Amino acid sequence: MYRRFIASAFIASMALCHGAAQAQDTFPNRPIRMIVPQSAGSGGDVVARLISEKLAQDLGQALVVDNRPGANGIVAMSTVAKAAPDGYTVLLTGVSQISFNPHLYASLPYNPQKDYTFISPVVDTPFVLVASKASGITSVQSFIDKAKHKPGGLAFSSAGVGNSTHLAMEVVADKLHLKMTHVAYKGSGPALTGVVAGEVDAMMSVLGAALPQVTGGTVVPVAIMGPQRVKELPNVPTLKEAGIDAPLMPSWYALVGPAGMDAKIVTRLNTAVQAALADPQIKTKLASLYLYPVVGSADAIKQRAMTESKLWGDFIKKRGIQSS
């Protein structure tokens, strides 16, 4: 009886192992949910929707984009950290959630190094400083003059405390010794809408997200926070050309999943993401929004994330930026 029990248990365990291996080999066999920690219309949302169709074709399964904005990405990050590590719940996260948040919160409900499996880098993009038409700001100098005229009188928006859209403006304030008023919105889309509506004076926005508003004439482009000017805005200088030698703000996006994902599934997803980014049509669409594909492995983006965390963590501490 005992030997028969042991034999049955062994056969059952082997069947489970075989089933798990088969699931990995046939991944995916059902729809995949890609969570985005930003609102619709934000930079991350634009990226997710640009690559989702190609990913679905490659993987042979539907890919559903699920927007989960709130608390500077903590809502989405926490959701994915608790998900099953089977590859069916992934997250298109940004540098803010991975590299900045650990230095902003006294207590963070997730650990970027331990709670996630890094899958693939996706894109990076420059920023553009835009101003509301009601602000009267038309150039870098008028922006500086307005900020200095009444310390704290110039209000700027961001996607949240410690978000890259916030820190990008803090970098400029630090370099120029400016005191401005920060207004945090729930996502970069609402923050940009605040500029359009004249609720705030300015914003340092991801270029691709702001470009339609710039070309539509609803906001005023002031400067590019990037290595060079952009062809659509030939008369808009870079910050360096305007005399502001500020470090370039990272604004990359990466695909991650819960900790403990199988290496075969990670490789499958990484390959699909990199193939999508290499697709000529997607490359053209990304380029039109100044979203630059990032080629690389899971390990490469994990290492970059940890490097950015150290560098910008020191800046966050220097500026005394905290979130509750």
pTM for the complete prediction? 0.80
Per the domain annotation, does 11 fall within a domain? no
What the block records as the tokens of 248 is 């370039």
Asked whether residue 77 falls in the same domain as residue 109, the answer is yes
Same domain, residue pair 210 and 273: no
Task: Tell which of 209, 225, 241 closes a domain.
Answer: 225
Residues 150 and 118 in one domain: no
Per-residue pLDDT, 184: 93
Domain that includes residue 144, residue range: 127-225
Domain-embedded: residue 275: yes
CA–CA distances in Å: residue 4 to residues 7, 12, 17, 196: 5, 12, 20, 74
My answer on whether 119 and 257 are in the same domain is: yes
Please indicate, yes or no, if residue 236 is contained in any of the structural domains: no
Residue 169 dihedral angles phi and psi, to the nearest 5°: -75, -35
Assign residue 59 the CATH number of its domain: 3.40.190.150
Q: What is the pLDDT of residue 171?
A: 94
Whole-number pLDDT of residue 23: 46
Q: For residues 12-38, b (16+ Cβ closer than 10 Å) or e, as one string?
A: eeeeeeeeeeeebeebbeeebbbbbbb
Q: Is the peptide bond before 280 cis (omega within 30 degrees of 0)?
A: no
Residue 315's CB: how many other CB atoms inside 10 A? 16
Whether 95 and 147 map to the same domain: the answer is: no
Whether residue 303 sits in one domain with residue 258: yes
Same domain, 111 and 195: no
**Res 17: pLDDT:** 47
Those residues whose C-beta lies under 8 Å from the C-beta of residue 10, and which sit 6 or more positions away, are: none
Query: 280-288 and 263-278 are packed helices; what angle lies between their axes, rounded to 10 degrees?
Result: 70
pLDDT tens column, 3-27: 554 445 444 454 444 444 444 568 9
The pLDDT value given to residue 255: 98
What is the pLDDT at residue 7?
Answer: 46
Task: Please report whether residue 262 resides in a domain.
Answer: yes
The residue behind tokens 């004076």 is 201
| One domain for residues 117 and 134 | no
Residue 22, in any domain of the structure: no
Rounded Cα distance between 72 and 238, Å, is 28
Residue 234 lies in a domain: no
Assess whether 92 and 162 both reside in one domain.
Answer: no
Q: Provide the domain count of the chain.
A: 2
- From 225, 243, 265, the end of a domain falls on 225
CA 120 from centre of chain: 13
Three-state secondary structure of 249-275: CCCCEEEEEECCCCHHHHHHHHHHHHH
My answer on whether 267 and 208 are in the same domain is: no
Residues 40 and 102 in one domain: yes
311 assigned to some structural domain:
yes
Of the candidates 92, 68, 73, the residue with the CA atom closest to the CA atom of residue 165: 73
> Same domain for 140 and 97?
no
Residue segments in the chain with a per-residue pLDDT below the cut of 50: 2, 5-7, 9-12, 14-23
CATH number at 180 reads 3.40.190.10
Residue 309 lies in a domain: yes
